[in-house]
Amino acid sequence: MTDDSILNPRGYELLNLIGEGAYSKVRSAYSTNLRHNCAIKCIDKRNAPDDFVQKFLPRELEILPKLNHKNIIKVYEILAVSDGRIFIIMDYANKGDLLRYIQKHSALTEQLAQRIFCELSSAVAYCHELGFCHRDLKCENILLADDLTVRLTDFGFAREIEYDSDGEVRMSGTFCGSAAYAAPEIIQGHHYDPRKHDSWSLGVILYIMVCGSMPYDDSNVRKMLKEQLRQRVRFPSRCSSKLNPDIKDLIWRLICVDVKSRMHVSMIHLHQWTRRLEERPRKSLILSRTNVVDNPASPGR
């Protein structure tokens, strides 16, 4: 059976291909029941590795129906077919992902970056409060709706936060996500606190938003790790003097090698930079065109 023959009777008209991986693809579609466009992710378990089918996919399918946050992609329906295909019907964010947006428009103004980052960190804090970590936070997994509001997506590497008998968080041992967004303890192969992994990744994302480039060159991971461990992240000379000192402070607190000193996601909203967020008309959220992404992270895993 084709995808169309499965989805059409359920009121979904498949449109354009908007994303494709080794064992999944995402299509835009129109829903006659919802009366608006949606996105449909099709996962083919027949082509997927065993660890994904047996561990990561079940976690994602268990977590998705529990999510209810304005800045997390909304899932309307999950369809499982006997031949191994799974269809996830969700919101369609028509502005695409954050990385492509920055590549197209250049670094964001402080005002826009502040609003997007507050929405993103709120979504991640909600996940932590719900009892799980995302573990694959990157610009490619941050979708933007028509009004540039955040829609966090792709929970394939999410896992439950577990505690031992002493109430301490159990460390994770699985390497997740892209090296460019991964904390040094993960690259070193150490067990890690998944909450602090999310913190580091958020710092990298904020850096990209305000600088228009990656904080570290990930083309050589071993060299990147040495750079991370040697000194705190530096800012490009073209924008360092223009950046609000509070932005730099928040980034340093998130991209912090010392795990114990690294800021918890739950504390981000208390930082002086995020506290100053003021409601302003959407039309004033314009872009700066002074910088470009010169070393974007690979969208692959």
In angstroms, the CA 87 to CA 83 distance is 12
Catalytic position from the list 91, 97, 136, 154: 136
Q: Are 126 and 266 in contact (CB under 8 A)?
A: no
Catalytic status, residue 136:
yes
Please name the amino acid found at residue 300: G
Rg (CA), the chain: 19
Q: Helices 194-211 & 245-254, crossing angle to 10 degrees?
A: 150
DSSP 216-277: S-TTSHHHHHHHHHHS-----HHHHTTS-HHHHHHHHHHS-S-TTTSPPGGGGGGSHHHHT-
Please name the amino acid found at residue 217: D
Q: Which of the residues are catalytic? A: 136
